[in-house]
């Protein structure tokens, strides 16, 4: 087992160092720019060429496409951040779900009639307000979470054991493979659903249900696995509760992706708040222990 951990650690360190990650970032950004221009061109054809009338949309719809690539990059960072810290890993989940909320705004704004639809009784307009309000609150909670984490990070990082970090690197490599496979499968299913929607002129499929539902379902089991493995190195009631609160947050994020607004945002914010309070109480407990020692 130790040999496997050494091999996976060396492989992870070689292929996911800052220089390689920067190269991946540049590739994804270039794809985002290309997809943005391509989407604009497709909308132009739909709005001006009768043959492509099924692609007729507001040009604002194109903003959503590059944002999806940026969001995918954040998910990639979420996966490779697993070996650093479980707490930082949860913070990155906060970032991802916040960006998903912002992407929902870009997705929905193109369907709104900007001249006549600014009405408090219009459900589409209310939906956009939910997106904006929820994303701001999520941003505030994320900042608060990271402030608590930064005050507690030195003690937490010094307690990490080499073998446990090696296991997390192995898990991270496995999740990268899962991410790639899931991306290909999801892209295929989304493509077929889009073709059917264009053919019968129906609503587009919900992009969050295509990829992120499955991804966060897998992340729940990853969280549980890391929690159980961590018991072999450090077992305490307070650590169990803190890590269990992180799992609960991941579950609530997963649930929120399949329910309607505004209940989905209420569920997410409850998950955020639960983790923040649990992490804060945990940090206070550690601070008190350090002072008494």
pLDDT at 228: 84
pLDDT at 205: 60
pLDDT at 159: 44
Structure tokens at 177: 């493979």
pLDDT at 293: 44
- Answer yes or no: are the C-beta atoms of 163 and 233 closer than 8 Å: yes
Give burial (CB, 10 Å; 0-12/13-18/19+) of 195.
Answer: exposed
Q: CA end-to-end span of the chain, whole Å?
A: 36
Q: pLDDT tens, 45-98?
A: 888 887 777 677 777 778 888 888 888 899 899 999 888 888 888 899 999 999
Residues 6 or more apart whose Cβ sits within 8 Å of residue 123: none
pLDDT at 199: 63
pLDDT at 115: 62
pLDDT at 201: 58
Mean pLDDT of residues grouped by 10 in the chain (293 residues)?
77 86 91 90 84 74 83 89 85 91 82 67 83 94 91 53 82 89 80 66 60 84 85 78 88 88 93 92 71 48
Please calculate the CA angle 43-182-67 and round it to the nearest 5 degrees.
35
3-state SS, the chain, equals CHHHHHHHHHHHHHHCCHHHHHHHHHHHHHHHHHHHHHHHHHHHHHHHCHHHHHHCCCCCHHHHHHHHHHHHHHHHHHHHCCCCCHHHHHHHHHHHHHHHHHHHHHHHHCCCCCCCCCCCCCHHHHHHHHHHHHHHHHHHHHHHHHHHHHHHHHHHHHCCCHHHHHHHHHHHHHHHHHHHHHHHHHHHHHHHHHHHHHHHCCCCCCHHHHCHHHHHHHHHHHHHHHHHHHHCCCCCHHHHHHHHHHHHHHHHHHHHCCCCCCHHHHHHHHHHHHHHHHHHHHHHHHHHHHHHC
């Amino acid at each position: 087992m130790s040999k496997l951990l050494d091999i996976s650690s060396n492989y992870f360190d070689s292929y996911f160092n800052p220089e390689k990650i920067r190269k991946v970032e540049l590739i994804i950004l270039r794809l985002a720019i290309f997809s943005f221009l391509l989407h604009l061109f497709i909308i132009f054809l739909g709005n001006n060429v009768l043959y492509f009338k099924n692609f007729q949309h507001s040009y604002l719809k194109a903003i959503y496409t590059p944002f999806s690539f940026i969001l995918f990059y954040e998910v990639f960072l979420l996966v490779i951040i697993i070996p650093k810290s479980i707490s930082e890993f949860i913070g990155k989940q906060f970032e991802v779900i916040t960006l998903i909320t912002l992407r929902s705004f870009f997705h929905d704004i193109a369907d709104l009639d900007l001249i006549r639809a600014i009405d408090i009784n219009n459900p589409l307009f209310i939906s956009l307000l939910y997106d904006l309000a929820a994303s701001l609150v999520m941003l505030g909670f994320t900042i608060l979470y990271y402030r608590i984490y930064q005050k507690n990070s030195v003690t937490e990082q010094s307690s990490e054991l080499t073998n446990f970090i090696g296991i997390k690197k192995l898990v991270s490599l496995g999740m990268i493979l899962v991410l790639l496979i899931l991306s290909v499968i999801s892209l295929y299913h989304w493509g077929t659903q889009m073709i059917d929607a264009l053919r019968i002129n129906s609503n587009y499929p919900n992009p969050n249900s295509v990829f992120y539902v499955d991804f966060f379902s897998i992340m729940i089991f990853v969280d549980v696995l890391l929690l159980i493995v961590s018991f072999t190195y450090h077992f305490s009631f307070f650590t169990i509760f803190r890590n269990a609160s992180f799992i609960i947050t991941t579950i609530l994020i997963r649930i929120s992706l399949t329910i309607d607004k505004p209940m989905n945002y209420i569920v997410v914010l409850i998950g955020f708040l639960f983790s923040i309070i649990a992490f804060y109480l945990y940090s206070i407990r550690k601070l008190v222990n350090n002072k008494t020692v």
